[in-house]
Amino acid sequence: MPDGNVTSNVLIINKGDAMLGLKQVHHIAIIATDYAVSKAFYCDILGFDLLSEAWREERDSWKGDLALNGQYVIELFSFPFPPARPSRPEACGLRHLAFSVENVENAVAHLEKHQVKCEPIRIDPYTGKRFTFFNDPDGLPLELYEQ
């Protein structure tokens, strides 16, 4: 645990300085080992809509754009023999994607009906909200967080 004398390489910029102008997350790119399996998982089980889909012959790759409640969220790719990335909870880099749900228990029941294994439901000690984790077909950790 830090002792209060934490140093950082992060440059703190005065808010009065020129800002980059970020508005929101535009999309999240996910590379799948089996495009058809991942597309079915995200669309048929999680409820994403397929906005567009293209076979990119020059890259031997599929590209699908997926939306959640009308908002473009995931760019799903396939590539031949993609290298594996560490997916352990404390691995450096992207840790997980989190989605909000009205009721975690109902969402878990839906996932389990489709043979998706979920961790036990826990309570966030800071917010009192319930949440759980599960994995996509390639082991990418996904979280359901109750509103």
The CATH number of whichever domain residue 61 belongs to comes to 3.10.180.10
Answer for the pair 74, 27: CB distance below 8 angstroms, yes or no.
yes
Q: Tokens at residue 88, please?
A: 């352990």
The average pLDDT across 43-55 equals 98
Q: Is residue 18 a part of any domain in this protein? A: no
The average pLDDT across 18-47 equals 93
Tens digits of per-residue pLDDT, 58-115?
999 999 999 999 999 999 999 998 888 877 777 788 889 999 999 999 999 999 999 9
Strand partners, 19: none
pTM: 0.83
Q: In this predicted model, which residue has the larger pLDDT, 10 or 56?
A: 56
Residue 122 structural domain: 95-147
DSSP strand pairing (122-123 vs 130-135)? antiparallel
Total domains present in the chain: 2
Distance CA 62, CA 58 (A): 11
Q: Is residue 8 a part of any domain in this protein? A: no
The average pLDDT across 14-34 equals 84
